[in-house]
Amino acid sequence: MDRHHSHHPLSRAAGAALLLLAAGAAAAGAQTINTCTRADAVPWFETPEGERVITVGAANAYLPRCVVITEGQSVTFQMNFSVHPLEGGLNKNGPPQPGNPIPSVNSGSAPVAVVFQEAGAWGFFCPFHQPPMAGAVYVVAPPFADGFETGDTCAWSATSEPSC
């Protein structure tokens, strides 16, 4: 059967609901992670590989501190980790974030690239300068991950869930 003609409104709505689930509850809505929300986040989901770099600005702040990417993309942390250690999580006294792929790095200045394989909202912070020096990576499922063809009419952005 031709996929382009097999969709009807109910299956399209069901597919959109599955895509919402695939994005993960942790990445959905206005959940705040280290003072970041998806609405605050830089939409890096369309940025070419190699251009997603988080650095430290003059005021001990991550630049940018809140980003959105898609599953399988990477973010590179580039800073002096002896001065600004990197920790994955919500904050130095907060609950653990099981599955957070952001490593602990406390020395050197070699860039640290992290590939995010699963949807979710992953916090990071500097234990020396936290709470102000904290951020989040929101990882969402790629558009059309549910099998919709790119010819289907679906709206998708970094700040909202897909609608078809």
The answer as to CATH 3.40.50.970 being correct for domain 3-144 is no
Q: What is the pLDDT of residue 92?
A: 77
Which pLDDT value is given to residue 100?
95
Residue the block writes with tokens 């001065």: 83
The helix, strand and coil proportions of the chain, stated in percent and rounded to the nearest 5, come to 15, 30, 55
CB of 119 within 8 A of CB of 18?
A: no
Separation of alpha carbons 129 and 140, rounded Å: 28
Q: What's the DSSP call for residue 11?
A: H
Per the omega criterion (within 30 degrees of 0), is the bond before 64 cis?
A: yes
pLDDT tens per residue, the chain (164 residues)? 443 333 333 333 333 333 333 333 333 446 899 989 999 899 988 777 768 999 998 889 999 999 999 999 999 999 999 999 999 999 877 778 999 999 999 999 999 999 999 999 999 999 999 878 999 999 999 875 554 444 444 455 555 555 54
Kindly list the domain boundaries of the chain, sorted by start residue.
3-144
How many CB atoms sit inside 10 A of residue 161's CB? 18
Instruction: Please give the pLDDT value at position 58.
Output: 81
pLDDT (0 to 100) of residue 140: 92
